[in-house]
Amino acid sequence: MADARHTAGGGGRRGAALHPGAPHEFDSIAFTSDAARRAIADRVRVLKSI
């Protein structure tokens, strides 16, 4: 989170997505889980908006 604050402080845009209860790297370990599918869909949505 400190990295996001630093980037935002310099005028850059940065987001952080938290997935409560999901361990680090959950989207590559359990990539077929509902949480991973939502996280990947969020990334695709953001990338398409750029």
pLDDT at 9: 65
Q: List the Cα angle 16/22/24 in 5-degree steps.
A: 70
pLDDT digits (tens, 9 = 90+) for 13-47: 666 778 888 888 888 899 899 999 999 999 899 88
Query: Which one-letter amino acid corresponds to residue 34?
Result: D
Q: How much is the pTM?
A: 0.62
User: Any idea where the domains of the chain sit in the sequence?
Assistant: 18-50
CA-to-CA separations, 48 to 3, 5, 40, 41, 44, in angstroms, rounded: 24, 24, 12, 11, 6
